[in-house]
Amino acid sequence: MITSPLAICSDEPYPQLQNLGSASLYFDEILSIERVKLFEDFSNEEIEALCRYMMCYAAPSGCRLLQEGDEEDFLLLILTGKVSVIKQMESEGSRSITVAEPGMSLGEMSLIDGSTRFASCDAIIPTDFAVLSRASLNAIFVQMPRLGNKLLLVLLKLMTTRLRDTSVLSFPKMTEVYV
């Protein structure tokens, strides 16, 4: 028996926020976002299939979406609004390290490896976002293995790009050493 994709998403990560329903309801809006790196290599049909495994939420300004150190296993795709990514620094306290805008994803590492969150994320302005949980990712692997493998490769590409970018910022003199 094949499980309905929405049944996979029933464990709500944000019970305190307005649940906007399946990302399928926002498919046209998602396609209209200028650049969604998570979906760059996918056809419209594949994006529509992935949307069936994602739930959307609305967060008010100032809402904490992800907490550094929490053990969670889902990623966020920012649909509207802006989100500050905040890292706790030993010597400086907390510091905003970037701002995520529509089309950007957050939390890929925790989705893949289940480890604690690397940074906190706060909505700067009212923000709508879609959630892809590990349970939904596993369902994609079972129900649509080719699409699941393609998604996994895209996630790995996103993470390695961020790692390289971070390495260049952290170790500028070592950029010539990349193999």
- pLDDT tens, residue by residue, 87-124: 988 887 888 889 999 999 999 988 988 888 989 999 99
| Domain annotation for the chain: domains and CATH numbers | 15-163 (2.60.120.10)
Distance between CA atoms of 75 and 140, rounded to whole angstroms? Answer: 15
Distance between CA atoms of 163 and 133, rounded to whole angstroms? Answer: 22
- The 10s digit of each residue's pLDDT in 114-138 is 888 989 999 999 999 999 999 999 9
Distance between CA atoms of 28 and 32, rounded to whole angstroms? Answer: 6
pLDDT of residue 101: 97
Distance between CA atoms of 112 and 100, rounded to whole angstroms? Answer: 20
Share of the chain above pLDDT 90, in %: 64
> Any idea what the Cα angle at residue 26 is, between residues 156 and 19, rounded to 5°?
90
43 vs 165, higher pLDDT = 43
pLDDT of residue 2: 42
Q: How confident is the model at residue 176 (pLDDT cuts 50, 70, 90)?
A: low
Instruction: Indicate if the pLDDT at residue 85 is higher than 90.
Output: yes
Instruction: Indicate if the pLDDT at residue 44 is higher than 70.
Output: yes
pLDDT of residue 7: 40
